[in-house]
Structures are given as C-alpha cells and as structure tokens.
Structure 1
Amino acid sequence: MHLQKPLRLSAALLISVTLVQVGTVSVSQAASVRVIDGDTLDIDGKTIRLHGIDAPEAGQTCRRPNGKTWPCGKQAIEALETLVSDDNVTCDDRGADGYGRTIGVCTIGSEDINAKLVSMGLAWAFRKYSMDYAEIEDTAHRDALGVWQAETITPWDFRAEKWAFAEQETPHGCPIKGNISEGGQIYHAPWSPWYTKTKISVEKGERWFCSEAEAVAAGWRAPRWGR
C-alpha cells in the first residue's frame, strides 16, 4: 500500500527561489513556484515535499468544537500560498523519497515554513519520519489551533481509510484511476475530491494503477488544484 502524499498542483506563484543542497554548493535561480498541496511545492518543475510535516488532504475537512466541519485541507493550501507569495524562499535538499520528490525544509528569511504551518495548526508533525516539529505541534494542540480545535482524523489515517475502501471496489485491488482529459494523462488517488466522479474507459486508453509511484513512472500526473 502506498499512502504518501499525492502530487497535486494549485495556483502558480512566480517568486525568486533558492534551492540549497545540504553539504553541497547552493544554487540560486528565478523559478516558477506552484503550491501542490498543504505540504508540497513545485519549484520550476522540481517537487519539494516539506520535511517533517503532513498537512490535511485537499478535500479533507476537520471538526470544530460545535461539531461542524471546516475545509482544513483547502485552508492549509491557502496558508502555504500566502507564505510563499511575496518573498524569497530557500529550500534545502535532504534527499529524495520513493516518488522522486525532494525532501526539504523551506524558509523565508529566518522563518521556517514547515514549522509555521504546524504552529498554525494547519499541519501535523510527521512523527513517523521526524520529531523536528513535535514540540511545536504540542503547543498548537494545547492552544487548540487549527486541526486541534476538536478531534480530527490525521491525514495518514484519512488516506488509509480512503484507500482501504476503494481497493475493495476496484479491479485487482488497484484503486488509482488513470484518466485522460484535455489536461492530459491525470491520475486520481482515492482521497482526491474528484475521485468518485472520475470514470475509467479502458477502450480510450485509460487505466488503473496500484500505486502513485506506478502512475508517475508511467507518465501520468496528479490533478492540478486551481483557483
């Protein structure tokens, strides 16, 4: 089962970015930056997965103390767009994950963007992989900020639940939908807001994938989240 964060694109933002490879010479360049989701950036075609955090999925909602819900996934995306919209962004390079994405900490001046999202309650500390933001999360939790207003499912459990349900309903237990549209070859994971609306026509060349990595390797991309 592959439950890593999907590659998804949101509004394009044009800013100056510095990519810094840890232990190597840094490289500065003007780049096109897209916010993919609440914890992922696309910098001039290079995908940066923010180290040590996990934001709610784009279509995920969270609870308020009164029992009502709010679009926490959408707000995490909007918060990241705001954070990177006006200033120079610096991202280090901590290696690649299994999807070819660069893991990194991104900063604006001295401000750690990863930490900022956790402190706002718009991302969890991804303790499975790093404890770097655990104390910041504890403070946000104590202050009932963002996702900590009320009991809310974590993004990794949200993805796992969506995946488990979808794999029972799809051919050969491979629930990722490879759809062909005007935008090209696009895949939809079970947690995509458009997942249930997407139909697969094998006759048109559309297909099913067993993992996001398989879809990416075959040349398909995740949907663009746009405004």
Structure 2
Amino acid sequence: MRFKLFAASLLPVVTTFASADNTSCKKVVDVTDGSSFSCLADTRKLVGVKLAKIETPTSRQPYGSASRKALSDLVLGKRVVVQVQATDQYDRLVGRVYVENIDVNARMVSSGAAWTSRLYNLDEGLLNLENRARKAKQGLWALPESERSPPWKWNKTAQNKIREKEEPFARTPSMLILPRVNRSI
C-alpha cells in the first residue's frame, strides 16, 4: 500500500511530454539561481530559462545557495527540454523543464528547494508536492519559520530596507513646512 501511495506521489515528477512549443537544449552551461539557468540550444544559441510556476530563495536568503545547488545537480551539463509557456521581461524562456522525462520544476518543489508560485496561475499538482515537502520538513521546510520568507515577501521587505537606508536624514517636526504667516503686523 505504501509503495502505491509513493508511486502515485511521483506521477507529477516523472512524466512524459509532447508539445509544439518545446525547446531542446544540448547542454545547460550555467545555473544562475534555484529557478533559472542558461543553456546552449540546438540552434547553437545561448538561451536563458526560468522554471515556470515555482519560486526559489534568492542568493541572499537562507537556503538560496542550497536551492541553486539542487537545480545544478539536476540540470548542469545535461540535455534538457523546455516546455515553453511564455517569455519574460529578460527574454528568458519560461516553462516546465525536463531532464530524461523528470519534471525539474516538480522535483525542485518536492525536494523542498522551491515554493509553488502564488503570483501566477497556481498549479495544484505543485502545491500538493509543496505540502508534502512541508510536512516532511524537507529542504527549506527544515529551516525555522523566521528564516523561510518566500521571495515574493522577502523582496518587498528588502526593498523597504533599502529605501530606509537611502533616506539621508530622519524627518523631525521642526522640518515641517508651516503655512506662511502675514508678518507685516
């Protein structure tokens, strides 16, 4: 019974794919972070790729380097197929990535190296894998809660801290602009 449950949980991870929008890459040459990499496409063009529907810690966040290593272990130096869903503002292909029929996006979430993105269309399969990883305290889910800020929240907090540092001085009540008073009396 346990084997059947385990096998069923892997269905989203090990999958086959067929789409007219697939891009094949001969070799992944660089992993930028836990959710993006560069690869040499079959057309001999260097292509940037972003894993769709997942978010990983930034390099400055706890577990950021571990997430990058997890993606490197899965794709670096390997042939991948990208099931393209979109192109982002940096001209990267955004999509599901497969290495030897393994869904890399799902594997990143199931190993606890990534969150399911809450910013775009929520993928129920990925959300289920995230919940399992969370319950098993895998990957980033083993960190204390205070260190597990998802990037979409962490980035806002980091931007606010940068703005505070850019403020050259503290505003005081004496700096307020008061209305002009007629002084000719």
Q: State the TM-score, normalizing by the size of structure 2.
A: 0.68
2: distance between equivalents of 1:106 and 1:137?
A: 18
* Counterpart check, 1:135 vs 2:132: no
The structure with the largest alpha-carbon Rg is 2
Greater helix share, 1 or 2? 2
1: distance between equivalents of 2:156 and 2:117?
A: 15
Are 2:28 and 2:78, in contact at CA under 8 Å, matched by a contact in 1? no
Q: Which residue of 1 aligns with 2:20?
A: 23
Number of aligned pairs? 141
Are 1:21 and 1:94, in contact at CA under 8 Å, matched by a contact in 2? no
- For each residue in 1:45-95, what CA deviation from the matched residue of structure 2 results, as whole angstroms up to 9, or x when unmatched? 32111001001111211xxxxxxxxxx111111111111135421112111
The CA RMSD over aligned residues, in Å, is 2.3
Distance 1:23 1:147, change over 3 A: same
Q: Which residue of 1 aligns with 2:38?
A: 42
Question: 3-state SS of the aligned residue for 1:95?
Answer: strand
- For each residue in 1:9-39, what CA deviation from the matched residue of structure 2 results, as whole angstroms up to 9, or x when unmatched? xxxxxxxxxxx99534x55453452101000
Residue identity in the other structure for 1:36 = T
Distance 1:22 1:96, change over 3 A: farther
1: distance between equivalents of 2:151 and 2:69?
A: 17
* Counterpart check, 1:146 vs 2:143: no
Unaligned runs of 5+ in 2: 1-16, 41-45, 168-185
Unaligned runs of 5+ in 1: 1-19, 62-71, 172-227
Distance 1:111 1:145, change over 3 A: same
Residue identity in the other structure for 1:46 = V
How far off its partner does 1:117 sit? 0.8
Are 1:55 and 1:123, in contact at CA under 8 Å, matched by a contact in 2? yes
Percent identity over the alignment?
A: 26
Counterparts of 1:70-219 in structure 2 under 5 Å?
72-85=63-76, 87-132=78-123, 133-149=126-142, 150-151=144-145, 152-170=148-166
Residue identity in the other structure for 2:84 = D
Q: State the TM-score, normalizing by the size of structure 1.
A: 0.56
